[in-house]
Amino acid sequence: MADLLSEAEIEAQKPADWTVEGDELVRTYEFDSYLEGVGFAAGAGGLAEEAFHHPELTIGWREVEVRLTTHDAGGITENDTDLAARFDELAD
Ligand SMILES: C[C@H](O)[C@H](O)[C@H]1CNC2=NC(N)=NC(=O)C2=N1
């Protein structure tokens, strides 16, 4: 199981566009259409399954909020920072 990251490690390892809210990494992606957001969420789900690490995904009007934390560790680990970076690649 991945170890919890310190605040300094999280700041150093998290992708720039993500914020820390309690025990979660959070980013809201914006899209030109609702269905683009749905498509992103589906792709993110595939990456999550591949990593066997699962975010909360909230699909809204032309936006998708992603929340990542490692439940098994009770906070943020490199599993979260790594998957966040992969989501950013998917969204680019
Ligand atoms: C048994 C445990 O649920 C699994 O090892 C995986 C599944 N997906 C997971 N996803 C997240 N976000 N955190 C976990 O700790 C986690 N654990």
| Domains by residue range for the chain, with CATH | 7-91 (3.30.1360.20)
Residue 76 near residue 10 (C-beta atoms within 8 A): yes
Per-residue model confidence as pLDDT tens digits over 3-56 = 999 999 999 999 999 999 999 999 999 999 999 999 999 999 999 999 999 999
Average pLDDT value for residue range 51-75: 98
Per-residue model confidence as pLDDT tens digits over 70-83 = 999 999 999 999 99
- For the cut 80, the answer to whether the pLDDT of residue 1 exceeds it is no
Beta bridge partners of 70: 75
pTM for the predicted model, two decimal places: 0.96
Q: pLDDT at position 2, please? A: 85
CB-based contacts of 45: which residues, under 8 Å, 6+ apart?
Answer: 57
Distance CA 82, CA 92 (A): 16
Compute, in angstroms, the gap from residue 49 CA to the centroid of ligand 1.
10
Residue of 26, 68, 71, 87 to mutate, ligand 1, most atoms within 8 A of C-beta: 71
Give the number of other CB atoms < 10 A from CB of residue 45.
Answer: 13
